[in-house]
Amino acid sequence: MINKEKADILIVGVGGQGILLASEIISSVCLEAGYDVKQSEVHGMAQRGGSVSSHVRYGDVVYSPTIERGRADILLSFELLEALRWIEFLKPEGTAIVNNMKITPMPVADGSERYPDNIRQKLEKRCKELVLVDGNSIAVKAGHIKTVNIALLGVFSKYLPFDTNMWKKSIVERVPVKTKEINLIAFDSGRNAN
Amino acid sequence: MRKLYSGNEAVARGAFEAGVEIAAAYPGTPSTEIMENIAHYKEIYAEWSVNEKVAFEVAFGGAVGGKRALAAMKHVGVNVAADALMTAAYTGINAGFVLVSADDPGMFSSQNEQDNRFFAKMAQIPMLEPSNSQEAKDFTILAFEISEKYDTPVLLRMTTRVCHGKSIVECRDRIPGPACRYQKNPQKYVMIPANARKRHVVVEERRKRLSEFAENFSGNITEYNDTSIGIITSGVSYQYAREVFPGSSFLKLGVSYPLPMNKIKTFAEKVKKLYVFEELEPFLEERLSAAGINLTGKNVLPVLGEFSPELLREKLQGQVTENSECDVKLPARPPVMCAGCPHRAVFHVLRKLRAVVSGDIGCYTLSTLPPLNTMDTVLCMGASMGIAQGLVRVLDERNRDRVVSVLGDSTFIHSGIPGLVNAVYNRANITVIILDNRITAMTGHQDNPGTGRTLKGEKVPDFDFAGMARAAGVEFVQTVDPVDINETENIISQALKHQGPSVVIAKRPCVLVDRNQFPGQMKIDWDTCKVCKICLRIGCPAISINDSKITIDQTMCFGCGLCQQICPHGSIIPLKSMKTGSENDK
């Protein structure tokens, strides 16, 4: 749990994983809690399987929309290699919440490069707290693999000082009506995991 | 009402509150969401125009007709609209007219990072630069007031971080724009030389009045704190500067053309050391230096790419954030053409035929990356047409019979059509392949004349690509389903042999728009697979090699069957004979 009245949160993963929706929910909860909020991401290539990052900053007043290397309080990664790619943005005393899954990038798929080994150990060396989450199984149990972003959000939500109902309200407002129930299950399962 | 808006959403909200009645755009990152959001307001007529020049002209026509109007485009789109812009600066407007230019420092999704602030200077029109979403909304509204007061188009210049960054916006109600009656006034709106000469005098006189306006503009904010460092900046650079120099003095420019030179001189005199922070070109700096002001700017800060707080710390405070030592070089994750993308087969065929590929702008530009490696040139929207025609005139015998121009449906309509007419007129022996995936895909699936739907969702007749080509005088016009590789290769080969221009329309919807268009997913039959890796050469993200085994990821495969058609051993087979998908998932 972050006790400070401000935090820098970096959310990363692969285009198509629902990263932008997750960061929108985080930002909306910070706004609801009365803070100044900035969220920054780059659109355009997101849907094409590229590396995607979204910066969320909250506090009394926020100036820069982006987080500097070595200054993020929390890194929330939807994929292992992306966690390693962005870990240098996390401050040494920060927390990394990482979905324990691999998505093969094209240079690895076509055999020209190798997916790195021992990512867990590499991440552990670089942050105070590493939380590895089997987000995909939580999502599948909740009802659909596509709820993985909300499942991870459930895990993440324990690290911010905001009430469960605020998170749920924001989720319900933003997911398709048909998927409301399974997303809420995914969120609860994530929040109660470990 | 407080909302968390992106800069683009805030511009749309500003247009709504300012009483805008007509708005037009052509999609382009990072500007696209401006018009997508304006379209949600039923009070505003909004359209996707076929290109930026037409969008500018539609909006300008609305302003001349007496209603507040807005046109939005990405930075390179302003190049397309520049012909209209330069003379609209002479005619002036009737009701307010605002052009939004979304620049892309860092080139997240663009072919260059030109600095469009120079357009304001070249056209002699005022320019506002918001630094967050609240300002994006406020400045949009102010831009209309300035436009009407000074009878000029106004440029609202955004950048990617302002467009796509979200911050808090206070929303208000819509106030109708002023009543501006339409009156025929050829001396003002018909730019024959005799009238234009008189209007140029008006432009000069207006420029002087605008300089006075800039001195008093409420969006140019001076804030004196510790005066040992003073910072002049605008746009998102202001936010970075506040982050890194919280106690310093600031002159934040909301209007960055024309410049409030008296205000700037006063500020420069009061501070000990003066910094000028601006991304890209030394636009402010050149003017300040010419006025004899001593400053630190581009002598230490880069003209390349975007700024960040980290960059300012490093270049001005000598604080270097160390790269955490990485034991291994991480594999890059470049964007790729999606699994099931109908474009992929065409590029597989073009590679096989060793075509010289004059490419264009869209998702298909990604075929330039490994493993497809197909494109020879990509310059700007529609350029595939003209470049191909130059190439065929000069290439040697070996290459000149296989020059192909490849462009998408929306790009063809945007600026490919004149090039096609030119090919017929000048008998250029090129083959044009129109990748008709029934949508403007790259910018996030916007409608275009080919989809038969407008921005507001109205049904209209589909644009007829084959009919257009025939009307232009093309004799060889064929439509092919690109998912059938043999037929695609057959038709493209025939087109290459045809003397004179030929057109092949590869028609198949974008897989993200119609996800269920294929019969079923594929899997590898490991008993017969020889791991020859031919299937890896089409660059499908669903196919990968792991521990010397080829696998197809069932969460990604749409079942287009391209891999099945190229596998020489018959080892890629439909999944549906199996009970579950898990067996193939390692």
Residue-by-residue pLDDT tens, chain A, 194 positions:
555 799 999 999 998 899 999 999 999 999 999 999 999 987 766 667 888 999 999 999 999 999 999 999 999 999 999 999 999 999 999 999 999 999 999 999 888 899 999 999 999 999 999 999 999 999 999 999 999 999 999 999 999 999 999 999 999 999 999 999 999 999 999 999 86
Tell me the β-bridge partners of B296. Answer: B275
Angstrom distance (rounded) from CA B132 to CA B142: 15
**CB contact at 8 A, B413 and B446:** no
Q: How confident is the model over B104-147, as pLDDT tens digits? A: 999 999 999 999 999 999 999 999 999 999 999 999 999 999 99
What residues 84-103 of chain A have any CB closer than 8 A to a CB of chain B?
84-85, 87-88
Asked if residue A117 belongs to a domain, the reply is yes
Q: Which residues of B touch A41 (CB under 8 A)?
A: 164
Q: How confident is the model over A145-171, as pLDDT tens digits? A: 999 999 999 999 999 999 999 999 999
Residue B583 pLDDT greater than 80, yes or no:
no
Closest residue on chain A to B8 (Cα): A43
pLDDT the model gives residue A110: 85
pLDDT the model gives residue B326: 56
**Residue B453 per-residue DSSP state:** B
CB contact under 8 A, B30 and A42: yes
Mean pLDDT of B437-458: 95
* Least CB–CB distance from B335: residue in A50, A68, A70: A50
Residue B224 pLDDT greater than 70, yes or no:
yes
CB contact under 8 A, B330 and A116: yes
Both tokens assigned to B448: 């275009």
Closest residue on chain B to A106 (Cα): B541
Q: Looking at the complex, report in whole angstroms how far the Cα of residue A74 sits from the nearest Cα belonging to chain B.
A: 17
CB contact under 8 A, A66 and B309: yes
Q: How confident is the model over B392-404, as pLDDT tens digits? A: 999 999 999 999 9
Residue B325 pLDDT greater than 70, yes or no:
no
A125 in contact with B, Cβ within 8 Å: no
Mean pLDDT of B451-463: 97
CB atoms within 10 A of CB B263: 18
Asked if residue A2 belongs to a domain, the reply is no
Q: How confident is the model over B421-434, as pLDDT tens digits? A: 999 999 999 999 99
Residue B581 pLDDT greater than 70, yes or no:
no
Asked if residue A26 belongs to a domain, the reply is yes
pLDDT the model gives residue B324: 60
Both tokens assigned to B475: 């004799």
Residue B50 neighbours by CB under 8 Å, 6+ apart = B26, B413, B414, B448, B449
Q: Which residues of A touch B331 (CB under 8 A)?
A: 81, 105, 107-108, 113-116
* Nearest CA among B395, B423, B409 for reference residue B360: B409
B331 in contact with A, Cβ within 8 Å: yes
Asked if residue A152 belongs to a domain, the reply is yes
Q: Which site among A90, A110, A140 would you substitute to test the B interface, given the most B Cβ atoms closer than 10 Å to its Cβ?
A: A110
pLDDT the model gives residue B220: 98
Please report, rounded to a whole number, the percentage of residues in chain B having pLDDT higher than 90.
Answer: 95
Mean pLDDT of B205-216: 97
Q: Which residues of B touch A144 (CB under 8 A)?
A: none
Q: What is the DSSP string of A79-107?
A: SHHHHHHHGGGEEEEEEEEEE------HH
Closest residue on chain B to A127 (Cα): B324
Task: Write the single-letter amino acid at B304.
Answer: L
CATH code of A103's domain: 3.40.920.10
Asked if residue A150 belongs to a domain, the reply is yes
CB contact under 8 A, B109 and A42: yes
CB contact under 8 A, A87 and B243: no
Asked if residue A187 belongs to a domain, the reply is yes
Residue-number span of the structural domain to which A97 is assigned: 7-192
Question: Is residue B258 reached through a cis peptide bond, with omega within 30 degrees of 0 on the bond before it?
Answer: yes
pLDDT the model gives residue A46: 60
User: Would strands A36-41 and A51-59 be described as parallel, antiparallel, or unpaired?
Assistant: antiparallel
Asked if residue A69 belongs to a domain, the reply is yes
Residue B218 pLDDT greater than 90, yes or no:
yes
Mean pLDDT of B253-258: 97
pLDDT the model gives residue A16: 85
pLDDT the model gives residue B550: 96
Please tell me which residue, B335 or A156, carries the higher pLDDT value. A156
Asked if residue A1 belongs to a domain, the reply is no
What residues 24-53 of chain A have any CB closer than 8 A to a CB of chain B?
24, 27-28, 31, 36-45, 47-51
Please give the tally of structural domains in chain A.
Answer: 1
Q: How sure is the predictor about B547, in pLDDT bands with cuts at 50, 70 and 90?
A: confident
Q: What is the DSSP string of B221-281?
A: EEE-SEEEEEEEEETHHHHHHHHH-TTEEEEEESEEES--HHHHHHHHHH-SEEEEE-SSS
Q: How confident is the model over B464-516, as pLDDT tens digits? A: 999 999 999 999 999 999 999 999 999 999 999 999 999 999 999 999 999 99
Q: Which site among B158, B166, B308 would you substitute to test the A interface, given the most A Cβ atoms closer than 10 Å to its Cβ?
A: B166
**Residue A44 per-residue DSSP state:** S
pLDDT the model gives residue B585: 43
CB contact under 8 A, B338 and A70: no
Q: Which residues of B touch A110 (CB under 8 A)?
A: 370-371, 536-537, 539, 544-545
pLDDT the model gives residue A2: 57
Residue B91 pLDDT greater than 50, yes or no:
yes
* A128-132, B71-75, B555-559, B581-585: segment of lowest average pLDDT: B581-585
ipTM of this model?
Answer: 0.94
CATH numbers and ranges of domains, chain B: 2-214 (3.40.50.970), 221-317 (3.40.50.920), 343-507 (3.40.50.970), 522-584 (3.30.70.20)
Residue B323 pLDDT greater than 80, yes or no:
no
Please tell me which residue, B321 or B85, carries the higher pLDDT value. B85
Q: What is the DSSP string of B339-387?
A: TT-THHHHHHHHHHTT-EEE--SSGGGGGGSTTT---SB--STTHHHHH
pLDDT the model gives residue B582: 44
Beta-strand runs (E) in chain A: 7-14, 36-41, 51-59, 72-77, 90-99, 129-133
pLDDT the model gives residue A45: 61
